[in-house]
C-alpha cells in the first residue's frame, strides 16, 4: 500500500522535530517539511539538514518575506489593525500565510494531510485550521500536540534522543518565542506571573528604554497611498524598510508591549511583544491619516480597525469580511500620501512633523493670527440649530413643555407595580 503523505509546518525546533518523527512512527507516513522564512532572525541554513536527519523525505524552505509584508502585514497596517488596541499581530498575520504554504506544497506533492505544531489552547491552531479549511477543504489537518503522549519538554527531549533526532533545545530556556519581520512574541516562564515585570533576558530585539541612547533619533517615513516606501528621503524595498526600522527602533527601546490578552479559546494570557518597526509604522501611518482623512472617514476607520484586528487575531484572514474591509480601507488610502517625521527616544515614539499634498489642514482656517479667514459669525447660527435638540429636551425637563407654554416641571411617572 502507498504510504500517506503529510506536509508538516516545520521550524526545526523541538516540538516540530519530534512531531516529524512521531508522524512517521504513528502513521507510517512520508513526511515532507515546510518551513517559511518570514524574516525570523534564526538561521534557517541548518533546518533542511535537520529535517532529513529527523526522517523527512523532502524539506522545503521558502522565502516568504515579500509576500508576507505585501500581502499580509501591509493590509493590516493600512487598516490600523492592533489587537486590543496595542498588539500589531506578527504571529496572527504569519499563520494564514504558513497555512497557504502547507496547502501549496500538499498540492504539489500529492499529500492528503497537513500537520501543525500548535497546542490545544492557543490561537494558532485555529488560524492554521480555519485557513486550511478555507483554501483546501479536502485536506485533513493533524495537530499531534493536542493528542500525543508527551507531557513535558523533558519527555520530548528524551524521545528525540531515543530516535537520534538532533536537538539544540535545552530544558533551561524558559521562554516560548515566535518571531518574524513584524515582531517577536515571548511567553512562558516567569512571564506567566502577571505581577512580575518582564526580566531583561526575555527581550530579544530591543534594548531597555533606560539603556537607550541619551540622544533621540529622528526618522522621516514617506508613504504613498498608505504604504511606507522610503526613509529619510531614500526609497527602500518593503522588507529592507522594515528591517531598518526594527534595528533603529530596537536600539532606542521602542516597541515593547506587555499585554494581558483575550485569546479566542476563552482564556486570558500574558504575552510580551517586541515590535519596533510595527510600532513606528502604525504610529506614523495614523499621524498621516489625521492630516489627510476626512473627519467621518477617519472616525469610521478607527471603528473598523478594531473589527479588522479581531478577525485577524481570531483566524479569519481568508474571510469575505476581511476582503470587504480591505476594499473599504484601500478606498480611504488614496490620499494617505506624504511624509511623517518621528522622534525615537528611550522607548517612546513622538511625532516631529507631517506633510502631504493632500493635507486637509488649512492654515488660513486654523490660525489665530490676522491671516484668519474662518467665518466666526457663521458659528452663531450653526450653534443655535446644532444645539436645538439638547436645548428643547432640557426645556421640557424643566418646564414640562417644549411649546413655550409655561407649565409645571416634568414629574417622572413612577414604574407601575404591575410591571415591576
- For ligand ARG, the binding residues (CB under 6 A) are 89, 91-92, 123, 176-178, 185-187, 271
User: Using CA atoms, how far apart are residues 255 and 93, in angstroms rounded to an integer?
Assistant: 17
- CB nearer to ligand ARG: pick between 95 and 301: 95
Find the shortest distance in angstroms from Cβ 115 to ligand ARG.
Answer: 18
Find the shortest distance in angstroms from Cβ 92 to ligand ARG.
Answer: 4
- CB nearer to ligand ARG: pick between 15 and 30: 15
Query: Which residue among 37, 104, 153, 176 is the active-site one?
Result: 176
Find the shortest distance in angstroms from Cβ 60 to ligand ARG.
Answer: 22
Query: Which residue among 48, 124, 269, 322 is the active-site one?
Result: 124
Decide: 372 and 379 in contact? Cβ < 8 Å.
no
Which residue do the cell numbers 493533524 mark? 142
- The question of whether 138 is a catalytic residue gets the answer no
Beta strands 268-274; 183-187: pairing state = antiparallel
- The question of whether 375 is a catalytic residue gets the answer no
- The question of whether 370 is a catalytic residue gets the answer no
Which among 259, 266, 271, 314 has a CA at the least distance from the CA of 92? 314
State the DSSP string of 235-304.
Answer: E--HHHHHHHHHHHHHHTTTTEEEEEEE-TTS-EEEEEEE-HHHHHHHHHHHHHHHHHS-HHHHHHHHHH
**Integer CA distances (angstroms), 370 to 63, 364, 375, 377, 380, in order:** 59, 9, 13, 16, 21
- CB nearer to ligand ARG: pick between 176 and 359: 176
Which among 217, 210, 204, 140 has a CA at the least distance from the CA of 173? 204
Helix axes 238-251, 276-292, angle to 10 degrees: 110
- CB nearer to ligand ARG: pick between 96 and 338: 96
- CB nearer to ligand ARG: pick between 109 and 261: 261
- The question of whether 176 is a catalytic residue gets the answer yes
Find the shortest distance in angstroms from Cβ 377 to ligand ARG.
Answer: 54
Query: Which residue among 5, 21, 65, 95 is the active-site one?
Result: 95
Cβ-Cβ contacts under 8 Å for 49 (sequence gap 6 or more): none
**Integer CA distances (angstroms), 30 to 20, 22, 88, 104, 150, in order:** 9, 11, 37, 17, 22
- CB nearer to ligand ARG: pick between 183 and 347: 183
Catalytically annotated residues: 15, 95, 124, 176
Amino acid at each position: 500500500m502507498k504510504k500517506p503523505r503529510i506536509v508538516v509546518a516545520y521550524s526545526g525546533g523541538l516540538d516540530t522535530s519530534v512531531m516529524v518523527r512521531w508522524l512517521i512512527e504513528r502513521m507510517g507516513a512520508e513526511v515532507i517539511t515546510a518551513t517559511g522564512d518570514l524574516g525570523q532572525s534564526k538561521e534557517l541554513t541548518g533546518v533542511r539538514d535537520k529535517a532529513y536527519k529527523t526522517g523527512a523525505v523532502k524539506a522545503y524552505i521558502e522565502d516568504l518575506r515579500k509576500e508576507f509584508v505585501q500581502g499580509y502585514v501591509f493590509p493590516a497596517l493600512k487598516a490600523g489593525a492592533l489587537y486590543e488596541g496595542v498588539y500589531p499581530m506578527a504571529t496572527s498575520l504569519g499563520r494564514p500565510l504558513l497555512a497557504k504554504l502547507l496547502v501549496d506544497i500538499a498540492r504539489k506533492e500529492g499529500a492528503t494531510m497537513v500537520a501543525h505544531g500548535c497546542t490545544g489552547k492557543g490561537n494558532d491552531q485555529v488560524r492554521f485550521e480555519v485557513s486550511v479549511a478555507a483554501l483546501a477543504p479536502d485536506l485533513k489537518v493533524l495537530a499531534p500536540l493536542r493528542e500525543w503522549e508527551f507531557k513535558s519538554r523533558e519527555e520530548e527531549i528524551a524521545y528525540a534522543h531515543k530516535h537520534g533526532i538532533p536537538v539544540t533545545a535545552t530544558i533551561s530556556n524558559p521562554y516560548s518565542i515566535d518571531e518574524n519581520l513584524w515582531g517577536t512574541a515571548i511567553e512562558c516562564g516567569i512571564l506567566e506571573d502577571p505581577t512580575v515585570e518582564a526580566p531583561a533576558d526575555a527581550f530579544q530585539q530591543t534594548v531597555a528604554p533606560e539603556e537607550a541612547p541619551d540622544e533621540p533619533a529622528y526618522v522621516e517615513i514617506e508613504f504613498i497611498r498608505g504604504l511606507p516606501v522610503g526613509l529619510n528621503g531614500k526609497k527602500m524595498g518593503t522588507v529592507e524598510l522594515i528591517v531598518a526600522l526594527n534595528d533603529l527602533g530596537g536600539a532606542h527601546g521602542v516597541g515593547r508591549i506587555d499585554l494581558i490578552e483575550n485569546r479566542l479559546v476563552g482564556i486570558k494570557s500574558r504575552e510580551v511583544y517586541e515590535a519596533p518597526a510595527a510600532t513606528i509604522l502604525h504610529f506614523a501611518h495614523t499621524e498621516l491619516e489625521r492630516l489627510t482623512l476626512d473627519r467621518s472617514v477617519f472616525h469610521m476607520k478607527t471603528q473598523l480597525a478594531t473589527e479588522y484586528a479581531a478577525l485577524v487575531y481570531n483566524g479569519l484572514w481568508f474571510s469575505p469580511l476581511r476582503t470587504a474591509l480591505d476594499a473599504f480601507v484601500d478606498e480611504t488610502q488614496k490620499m494617505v500620501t506624504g511624509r511623517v517625521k518621528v522622534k525615537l527616544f528611550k522607548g517612546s515614539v513622538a511625532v516631529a512633523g507631517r506633510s502631504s499634498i493632500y493635507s486637509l489642514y488649512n492654515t488660513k482656517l486654523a490660525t489665530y493670527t490676522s491671516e484668519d479667514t474662518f467665518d466666526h459669525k457663521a458659528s452663531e447660527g450653526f450653534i443655535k440649530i446644532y444645539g436645538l435638540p439638547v436645548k428643547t429636551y432640557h426645556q421640557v425637563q424643566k418646564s414640562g413643555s417644549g411649546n413655550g407654554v409655561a407649565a409645571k416641571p416634568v414629574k417622572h411617572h413612577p414604574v407601575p407595580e404591575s410591571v415591576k
